[in-house]
C-alpha cells in the first residue's frame, strides 16, 4: 500500500513498488487522461507535474514517489479547463488525433510557469513531446496565445527534447 497525493487528494494505492507511476495513475487511480506512448521517457505522452516540474510518469517507479510529492495530472490542471493553456488549445483547435495532447498541455503549462513569454526557440527547447500528427505549428501558436492570457493554476518546468 502506498499513499500518493494526486490533484490535491491523498490516494491509497495497492501496486508493486516497481510499477511505473503512469500505470498507477491510469489503472489504480483511474485517471486516464495521462497516456502511454513509448514507455521509455521519449515521447512525453505520459507527462505530469510533480512538485512543480514536468515529469514523464512512465519512467518513475511507484517506490520513488513520496507521499508528500505533489502530482498533478491533466485532470487536475484546472477545475473547468480554465487554465490559459487549455483555453488557447481550444481556441486554436490544436489537437488532431488528440493522443499526445494532454502531455503537450502539461508541458506547455510547465513552460509558461517558468518562462511566461517564451520565444519559438524556448518552446522548441522546452517542449520535447512528440506529436505523430505534426501539430507543432498550432502548439506554438497556442503557447503564444496562452502567454498573453492571465495566468491560471498549474505548475512546473521544462524538459529536453529532440523533435522526431
Verify binding: residue 52, ligand FES, rule CB under 6 A: no
Kindly indicate which of the ranges 23-31, 75-83, 129-137, 140-148 contains the residues binding ligand FES, using the contact rule CB under 6 A.
Answer: 129-137
Kindly indicate which of the ranges 6-14, 34-42, 63-71, 146-154 contains the residues binding ligand FES, using the contact rule CB under 6 A.
Answer: 34-42
Q: Which one of residues 17, 132, 148, 151 is an interface residue with ligand FES (CB under 6 A)?
A: 132
Residue written as cell 483555453? Answer: 87
Nearer CB in complex with ligand FES: 19/133 = 133
Verify binding: residue 61, ligand FES, rule CB under 6 A: no
List Cα–Cα distances, 24 to 14, 59, 95, 102, 156, in angstroms. 9, 12, 26, 17, 21
Helix (H) / strand (E) element for 4: namely strand 2-6
Nearer CB in complex with ligand FES: 141/153 = 141
DSSP string computed for 24-59: IIIIIS--TTS--S-SSSSS-TTEEEETTEEEEGGG
Q: In the beta sheet, which residues pair with residue 49?
A: 54, 72
Verify binding: residue 44, ligand FES, rule CB under 6 A: yes
Q: Least distance (Å) from ligand FES to the CB of residue 48?
A: 10
How far apart (Å, rounded) are the C-alpha atoms in residues 126 and 98? 20
Which residues of this chain interact with ligand FES, rule CB under 6 A? 36-39, 41-46, 56, 58, 95-101, 131-133, 135
Amino acid at each position: 500500500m502506498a499513499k500518493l497525493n494526486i490533484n490535491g487528494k491523498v490516494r491509497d494505492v495497492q501496486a508493486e513498488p516497481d510499477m511505473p507511476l503512469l500505470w498507477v495513475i491510469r489503472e489504480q487511480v483511474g485517471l486516464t487522461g495521462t497516456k502511454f506512448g513509448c514507455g521509455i521517457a521519449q515521447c512525453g505522452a505520459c507527462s505530469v507535474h510533480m512538485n512543480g516540474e514536468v515529469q514523464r510518469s512512465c519512467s518513475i517507479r511507484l517506490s520513488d514517489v513520496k507521499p508528500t510529492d505533489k502530482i498533478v495530472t491533466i485532470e487536475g490542471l484546472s477545475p473547468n479547463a480554465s487554465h490559459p493553456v487549455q483555453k488557447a488549445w481550444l481556441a486554436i483547435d490544436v489537437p488532431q488525433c488528440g493522443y499526445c495532447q494532454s502531455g503537450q498541455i502539461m508541458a506547455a503549462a510547465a513552460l509558461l510557469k517558468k518562462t511566461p513569454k517564451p520565444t519559438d526557440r524556448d518552446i522548441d527547447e522546452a517542449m520535447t513531446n512528440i506529436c505523430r500528427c505534426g501539430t507543432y505549428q498550432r502548439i506554438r501558436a497556442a503557447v503564444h496565445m496562452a502567454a498573453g492570457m492571465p495566468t491560471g493554476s498549474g505548475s512546473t518546468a521544462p524538459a529536453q527534447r529532440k523533435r522526431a
